[in-house]
Structure 1
Amino acid sequence: MDFSKFLYNISSVPLNLLDESIPKSKYVPIDLSESNQELKAIDVSLVSEFGQFINNYLKEHDAVVAYGGYLEERNLYKRSAYFNSQANQERNIHLGIDLWREDGTSIYAPLEGEVQGFKNNTNYGDYGPTIILKHNISGVTFYTLYGHLSLASIKTLQIGKTFKQGEKIGALGDAAINGDYPPHLHFQIIKDLQGFTGDYPGVANKDNLEFYKENCPNPNLLLKF
């Protein structure tokens, strides 16, 4: 089975992670790759500077949501030993799509699913509070991951809880809880969780990229930006 084609064919219209009343004209793509010269002028390790960059970008483009980042090679992760713990194995290739908006923003299930796991991943630069949903569509099982949420999003959550499509699953956390980033959602599709619960790598290195490209296909197959 062509998994990417299957994902794309799940819906003929874009699936929503944020309030569906936000017009798509208010979404703008953003480049956070190491090749973006504008990023080199700021210290992305300082959440205040990074956050101001995001906010200015949204204002300049008359937008309320900035999105992007799948397979983007980023310098953002150099600040944390969590992504650089093995010699010559720097993890800096992003495996999800990020949606940048203010903390407290509600996040909705794009598809019906049940909670496979949840966890507060507290490493510096990590996801912070995270939820993983399990989906079964036409006999095909796969997972979606939601990172950088608020603590309240997982406080009373239970494994196996079912969320209907369009039901609120949580809200974005602030820098104090979300791994020290400006508020945003990390959304990722995962074919095989490989035994993880409430966590899964969201950044890869070049050596294992081909595996992760297959196991974590482009979320835009569902979101259709």
Structure 2
Amino acid sequence: MIGGRGERRARNHLGTMEGINALKVFKGPFEAKEFSTIVNMEGKKIVIRDFTTGKEPEPLPEGAIDIGRYNEMRPNMYVSDMYQDTEKQIEGYAGVRNIHMGLDIGGPAGTPVMSFADGKIQKFGYNPGKGDYGHVVIVQYKISDTNVWALYGHLSAKSVGYKYIGMPVKKGDVIGWYGVPGENGGWPPHVHFQLSFVEPQTHDLPGVVSLRDHKRSEIHFPDPRLVLGKLYPGEGLIVPKGLEIPERYRKESKKS
């Protein structure tokens, strides 16, 4: 669900912080805040997907909404070159990428997507690659004096119309709609929602990352449930059943 180029260091104090403890620090801006839902889920059956199995998911029941989890390793899903090319860099992230750093909310094409708070349009555009985001809108927010960017991906073509950089948006404003596969990167209709403490350089963020980049990605891209609420239980990296994480990555985790 990505494309993009270049690497940059965070311009704020996040860039000087190391280790996953930074996540605990940055939960602060979101606490005691009231955010708008980005998709109307009232009265809908919600299905929490498990993409760690590497198997094709069951069809979504009519009228239901499905949730794709944050921080989930997804084997067999990201098979195009953009995910398998170990040299390609997206905002400084490379390697074979299959750990999902956003949260997906699925439903019918044309479903409205709303801004969770007051902000302004920072980037928008079209990422045309197979398996990419398709049409994207990125909104910049100021949450308790902390800059936060949110990427809304896999949108329809009309979602990027009549927009301009710096355009103000209000909490609850419709900023786009779910796209069909022909305009959303080739995926079933859904929105990929991703938070970032690092300013995107284009209409892109690495929505999936490699295991080697995972620890810093947790710092750069916090859990979307800080905004969306506790849509499902659990925290930390979600891996396929029985998978042993290599020692070098577990050591990094312990250090942080």
* Fold shared, TM-score > 0.5 on shorter chain: yes
1:9 aligns with 2:25: no
**1:182 equivalent in structure 2:** 188
Q: In 1, are the aligned partners of 2:29 and 2:144 still within 8 Å (CA)?
A: no
Q: Deviations over 1:84-118 (max 9, x none)?
A: 11179210000000001011101111111100001
What is the aligned-residue RMSD (CA, Å)? 2.0
Quote the Cα distance in structure 2 between the aligned partners of 1:68 and 1:130: 18
> For the structure 1 residues 163 and 74, does the alpha-carbon distance in structure 2 shift closer, same or farther, using more than 3 Å as the test?
same
What amino acid is aligned across from residue 19 of structure 1 in structure 2?
N
1:215 Cα offset (Å): 0.8
Q: Hey, what does 1:135 align to over in structure 2?
A: 141
Match of 1:148 in 2: 154
Q: In the aligned structure 2, how far is the partner of 1:76 from the partner of 1:131?
A: 27
Normalised by the size of structure 2, how large is the TM-score?
0.73
Question: Is residue 77–residue 83 contact of structure 1 (8 Å, CA) maintained in 2?
Answer: no
Contact kept, 8 Å, 1:8 with 1:222, in 2: the verdict is no
Offset at 1:4? 1.9
Higher-helix-fraction structure:
1
Residue aligning to 1:211: 216
* Structure 1 pair 95–29 and aligned structure 2 pair: CA distance change class (3 A): same
CA distance in 1, matches of 2:141, 2:112: 20
Question: Could you say which residue in structure 2 is the equivalent of 1:47?
Answer: none
Partners of 2:114 and 2:78 lie apart in 1 by: 31
Letter in 1 for 2:153: G
* Residue-pair matches, total: 201
Following TM superposition, the consecutive aligned residue runs of length 4 or more in structure 1 with deviations greater than 4 angstroms are none
Q: CA deviation at 1:147?
A: 0.2
Q: Distance in 2 between matches of 1:76 and 1:128?
A: 20
Counterpart amino acid of residue 31 in structure 1: D
Length-normalised TM-score, structure 1: 0.82
In structure 2, distance between residues paired with 1:77 and 1:121: 18
Could you tell me whether the CA contact under 8 Å between 1:150 and 1:172 is conserved in 2? yes
SS at match of 1:79: coil
Q: Give 2:165's aligned amino acid.
A: I
